């Protein structure tokens, strides 16, 4: 039996180590890419193309004619096309490197003026520039190396954070003995030590609070029992009619105090995650029939078995029925219990003044005082707060809604995994 928040708490922390690892690997890869870009610029800076071209054609500047095979050799050497035109712009020679396709009238990127009015033109100068694979493959290799080198480090850090998250989750569920294993001597280890000290202090405080409540309940019940017995004796010895009403009021107040003590103890055990009875197959229909008969409410017996703690389920049903009688102004209170393959639904309805929509969640708070209620009327106490705590303890929910045309309706649902039919 777990709370509805358990599903959200089960989300793993694995996305964190992936994000950290990707961030580190990306930073290393970007650094490598920047280094390669600088290397490319140093290897073949702007202006080097024209300088190499002029150096290669320096031997042609004083010749009236370029040898026919010279254009082809230059085209192969520069991995582009070479075009030589005369003074009138007519193409004298045109050659292309192996694998390069170009039109004789293609636009030139570089031009050198030769003697006699001839012009040497070429396309994109490619000599000396390595292919893209010469840079892409090292970049891929660096990225893989950075990723493989940083993964164990990132995994070790985030694995300890994952253990921390699990411990915090267990502590939040009430397992106050949860402690972290202190590994290393860094900030994460210091965080683990701080968590262990905090968990130990919380466990001590909760244990002391639980002991105080147990001792206080014992000490309070003893004088309450003596007062009740004294009241009974006074009633028997002095049965004067005008004294009977105050005595009945006193007995009623004592019963309320005794009930409140019991509810405080139950609430403290639920909130602190104390040792509760193990869940067992329970006839919820029989519990409803017993409580309805005790309070004089009509209920047709039905057999509905659920997996739960019997005395907690009895407290849930009793609190819902007593709340409906108290705030239903003595009008009709109905109890319905229905089981389906999906869920078990318990519904308690009354014909009282109802609960305003703005307060239908607030009334499940401990000792919440409804708007407009006087000091003498008091708050709602712990009854509905216990109902919600018990429902959550059994993996269910409870909410309040309008009971048209008047009144309020409390609906408690238990999932099918907690129900079994016999």
pLDDT digits (tens, 9 = 90+) for 259-292: 777 777 777 667 655 556 678 899 999 999 999 9
pLDDT category at 125 given cuts 50, 70, 90 is low
Residue 252 CA to residue 38 CA, distance in Å, equals: 90
Cis (ω within 30 of 0) for the bond into 405?
A: yes
The CATH class of 280-418 is alpha beta
pLDDT at 422: 44
For residue 353, the tally of other CB atoms under 10 A from its CB is: 13
Q: So where are the chain's domains?
A: 6-41+131-173, 48-122, 207-271, 280-418
pLDDT score recorded for residue 237: 59
Kindly list the distances between the CA atom of residue 92 and the CA atoms of 18, 103, 121, 125, in Å, as whole numbers in the listed order. Answer: 63, 14, 11, 21
Q: How many CB atoms lie within 10 A of CB 162?
A: 16
pLDDT of residue 367: 79
Question: In which band, very low, low, confident or very high, does the pLDDT at 293 lie, cut at 50, 70 and 90?
Answer: very high
pTM for this prediction: 0.51
Most confident range (mean pLDDT) of 126-130, 210-214, 381-385 is 381-385
Asked whether the predicted pLDDT for residue 393 surpasses 60, the reply is yes
- Residue with the bigger pLDDT between 162 and 422: it is 162
Q: Side by side, which strands form the sheet with 91-96?
A: 91-96, 81-85, 119-122, 110-113
Asked if residue 32 lies in contact with residue 139, where contact means CB atoms within 8 angstroms, the answer is: yes
- Residue 79: which pLDDT band, with cuts at 50, 70 and 90? confident
Kind and range of the H or E run holding 413: strand 408-415
Q: What is the pLDDT of residue 238?
A: 55
The mean pLDDT value for 179-183 works out to 82
For tokens 């009740």, name the residue. Answer: 228
pLDDT higher than threshold 50 for residue 23: yes
pLDDT score, position 271: 65
What pLDDT was estimated at residue 321? 93
Q: What is the mean pLDDT of residues 127-137?
A: 58
The burial of 10, by beta-carbon neighbours within 10 Å (0-12 exposed, 13-18 middle, 19 or more buried), is given as: exposed
Look at the chain and count its residues: 422
State whether the Cα torsion 395-400-404-408 is positive or negative. Answer: positive
Q: Which of 190, 187, 192, 186 is nearest to 163 (CA)?
A: 192
Question: Quick one: pLDDT band at residue 372, thresholds 50, 70, 90?
Answer: low
Give the CATH class of 207-271. Answer: mainly alpha
The encoded tokens of residue 251 equal 């007995």
Yes or no: say if 29 and 139 are a contact pair by the CB < 8 Å rule.
yes
Q: What is the pLDDT of residue 159?
A: 78
Pick from 92, 95, 69: which is nearest to 82 by CA?
Answer: 95
3-class secondary-structure state, position 333: strand
Mean pLDDT value across the chain? 75
Of all residues in the chain, what percent are helix, strand and coil, respectively (each to 5)?
55, 15, 30
């Amino acid at each position: 039996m777990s709370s509805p928040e358990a599903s959200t708490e089960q989300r793993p922390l694995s996305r964190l180590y992936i994000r950290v690892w990707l961030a580190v690997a990306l930073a290393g890869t970007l650094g490598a890419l920047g280094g390669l870009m600088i290397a490319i610029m140093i290897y073949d800076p702007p202006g080097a193309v024209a300088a190499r071209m002029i150096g290669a054609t320096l031997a042609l500047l004083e010749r009236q004619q370029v040898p026919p095979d010279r254009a082809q050799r230059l085209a192969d050497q520069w991995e582009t096309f070479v075009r030589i035109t005369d003074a009138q712009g007519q193409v004298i020679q045109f050659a292309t490197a192996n694998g390069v396709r170009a039109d004789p009238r293609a636009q030139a990127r570089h031009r050198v003026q030769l003697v006699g009015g001839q012009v040497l033109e070429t396309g994109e100068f490619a000599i000396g520039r390595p292919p893209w694979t010469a840079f892409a493959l090292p970049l891929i290799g660096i990225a893989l190396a950075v990723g493989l080198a940083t993964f164990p480090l990132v995994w070790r850090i985030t694995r300890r954070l994952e253990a921390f998250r699990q411990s915090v989750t267990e502590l939040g569920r009430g397992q106050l003995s949860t402690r972290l294993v202190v590994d290393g001597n860094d900030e994460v280890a210091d965080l683990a030590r701080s968590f262990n000290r905090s968990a130990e202090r919380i466990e001590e405080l909760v244990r002391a609070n639980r002991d105080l409540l147990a001792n206080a309940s014992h000490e309070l019940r003893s004088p309450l029992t003596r007062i009740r017995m004294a009241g009974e004796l006074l009633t028997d010895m002095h049965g004067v009619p005008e004294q009977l009403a105050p005595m009945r009021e006193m007995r009623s107040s004592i019963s309320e105090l005794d009930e409140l003590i019991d509810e405080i103890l139950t609430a403290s055990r639920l909130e602190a995650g104390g040792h509760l009875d193990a869940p067992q197959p329970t006839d919820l229909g029989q519990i409803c029939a017993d409580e309805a008969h005790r309070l004089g409410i009509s209920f047709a017996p039905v057999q509905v078995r659920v997996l739960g703690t019997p005395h907690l389920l009895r407290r849930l049903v009793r609190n819902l029925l007593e709340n409906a009688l108290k705030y239903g102004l003595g009008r009709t209170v109905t109890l319905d219990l229905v089981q389906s393959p999906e869920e078990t639904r318990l519904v308690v309805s009354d014909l009282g003044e109802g609960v305003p929509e703005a307060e239908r969640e607030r009334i499940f708070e401990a000792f919440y005082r409804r708007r407009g209620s006087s000091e003498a009327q008091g708050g709602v106490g712990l009854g509905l707060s216990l109902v919600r705590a018990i429902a959550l303890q059994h993996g269910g929910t409870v909410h309040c809604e309008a009971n048209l045309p008047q009144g309020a309706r409390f609906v408690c649902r238990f999932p099918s995994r907690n129900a079994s039919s016999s």
